Copies of this chain bind each other. A is one copy, B any other.
Amino acid sequence: VPKVSDEHLTARREQILEGARRAFAKHGYESATVARLEEEIGLSRGAIFHYFPDKWSLFFELAVRDQTRWNTLIIERGIDDLARTIYAENPDWLGVYLELARHIRTHPELAEQLEQRMTEEELPSGKARLRELQEEGALRDDVPLDKLAEFVNVVLNGIVAQYASGTELDVESVLKLVHEGLDPRAK
Contact = CB atoms under 8 A, between A and B. Distances in A.
A169 B154 contact: yes
A50 interface: no
A177 interface: yes
A19 to B, nearest CB: 19
Interface stretch (A4-12, A67-75, A159-167): A159-167
Contact of A164 (B101, B111, B150, B187): B101
B161 A174 contact: no
Contacts of A148: 177
Contact of A170 (B99, B147, B184, B187): B147
Contact of A177 (B111, B165, B181): B181
Nearest to A177: B181
A156 interface: yes
A138 interface: no
Copies in the complex: 2
A164 B102 contact: yes
A18 to B, nearest CB: 20
B102 A28 contact: yes
Contacts of A92: 102
Interface of A: 28, 30-31, 91-92, 95, 98-102, 104-106, 108, 111, 143, 147-148, 150-151, 153-162, 164-167, 169-170, 173-174, 176-178, 180-182, 184, 187
